[in-house]
Structure 1
Amino acid sequence: MIEPSGGWWPLALALLIGYVLGSIPFGLVLTRLTGAGDIRRIGSGNIGATNVLRTGRKGLALATLLLDAAKGGLPVALALAWAGPEAAAVAGAGAIVGHCFPVWLGFKGGKGVATAAGVVLVLTPLVLVLILVAFVAIVWATRWVSLGSITAAALAPIVAWLVGDPTAAGLYVLIAAIVILKHRENIGRLLRGQENRLSFGGRPAS
């Protein structure tokens, strides 16, 4: 590992790089490039993979999912190799904030789930496996992607603490707060029983 010369600037640089990479709106870019339209005017208006699936293009949704995860994992991996776990956590925070509040889109971005998965994959792969099991189980049982996402986000800091990584746990508290905040409308619909359910045939069911 290359040691930075010291001070606060490595953390600031990690935050900036994380934010810039995280703010790339892949869902919007891909749907426009492929002629699927402006994803912000389709379905929920969200730029993430679940809403891209509402265009009926599974491959496009998968590409969005992978790229959104990569823009979370890449800055974390770079910061981890260059300056250590603290900088990696800061880069992860920057990536999540960039995805959810991108300056290029008037700070109206996605909900952070795929990008968070990329961050967790690089920092704590075991934690990702465990919360992914919870996510899949909940989505399979209820067909509510939002409920699975919220639950996984809430579990992440707890699991990270239990496996002995307090630095990651602290970051995951922030991520969980942002993910839950971005899902506040979904939470309201869940409480009213009006949330859309995912169809395992491909498109989200109404």
Structure 2
Amino acid sequence: MNLLTVILVAYLIGSLPITAFYSKKGFRRDLSSRSAAGFRREPLLSVGMEMGKGALAALLGLVLHGWTGAAFASIAVVLGQIYPVFTGFRGGRGAAVSAGALLIMSPLLVLIGIGIYWALLFVTRYRSISMVSAVICVMVLTLVLFPELYVILVVFGLGSLVLLRYAGSVRRWRKGTEPPFRWRGLGRWR
């Protein structure tokens, strides 16, 4: 399988609307909604499945074309999540898929990023600010911890895509219209 085919397969993996397959509201409802209905009910399952898409694509690229293939597949799977062909190029924000792809390339960075996200979420109670801050911290830490060029390029590419998708949420936070995070028990939050 050549590199271009790996990139195309990774994009298609990212485009799959997997939350629609297990949602109680059905496939059609999830495709019309910007946020998957299943995410509110089963957030850990949804995030895990999205991370699995990213990890699968990066692993496929790594096995078939080494680190270069993993880097290209990581970018492609996130682009597939953000601009999915199956839902009219309207998709998610790509954070969980990015974390899954990065899990193959650098598990330490993913653990640090998740830790920063949760710590900031407890402090700020705003998901967008927590995510943006965690992404920026991971981007800076990449420069300090990992001198390999492919990791730096992938982290900055994925981070830039995620930051672009969260720009609207940050604007809503600045205006005071973004709702704060509310705990409803483990595995159930809004």
TM-score, normalised to structure 2, is 0.88
Matched, 1:95 2:84: no
Alignment equivalent of 2:3, drawn from 7, 11, 25: 11
Give 1:38 shift.
1.5
Contact 1:14 1:88 in 2 (8 A): no
Matched, 1:163 2:184: no
Alignment equivalent of 2:121, drawn from 123, 128, 139: 139
Unmatched segments (≥5 aa) in structure 1: 1-8
Alignment equivalent of 1:38, drawn from 22, 29, 35: 29
Alignment equivalent of 1:188, drawn from 151, 165, 171: 171
CA RMSD of aligned residues (A): 1.9
Distance in 1 between residues matched to 2:129 and 2:64, nearest whole Å: 36
* Equivalent residue, structure 1, for 2:58: 76
Farther off after superposition, 87-96 or 153-162: 153-162
Contact 1:156 1:169 in 2 (8 A): no
* 1:121-144 deviation per Cα after TM superposition (whole angstroms, max 9, x unaligned): 111011111111111111111121
Matched, 1:25 2:11: no
Identity fraction in percent:
23
Q: Secondary structure at the match of 1:82?
A: helix
Contact 2:62 2:70 in 1 (8 A): yes
> 4+ residue stretches of structure 1 with deviation over 4 A?
none
Contact 2:181 2:189 in 1 (8 A): yes
Contact 1:10 1:87 in 2 (8 A): no
Contact 1:158 1:169 in 2 (8 A): no
TM-score, normalised to structure 1, is 0.82
Contact 2:22 2:38 in 1 (8 A): no
Distance in 2 between residues matched to 1:176 and 1:114, nearest whole Å: 11
| 1:51-130 pair list within 5 angstroms | 52-54=38-40, 57-58=41-42, 61-130=43-112
* 1:101-136 deviation per Cα after TM superposition (whole angstroms, max 9, x unaligned): 001111100000110110111110111111111111
Q: Secondary structure at the match of 2:123?
A: helix
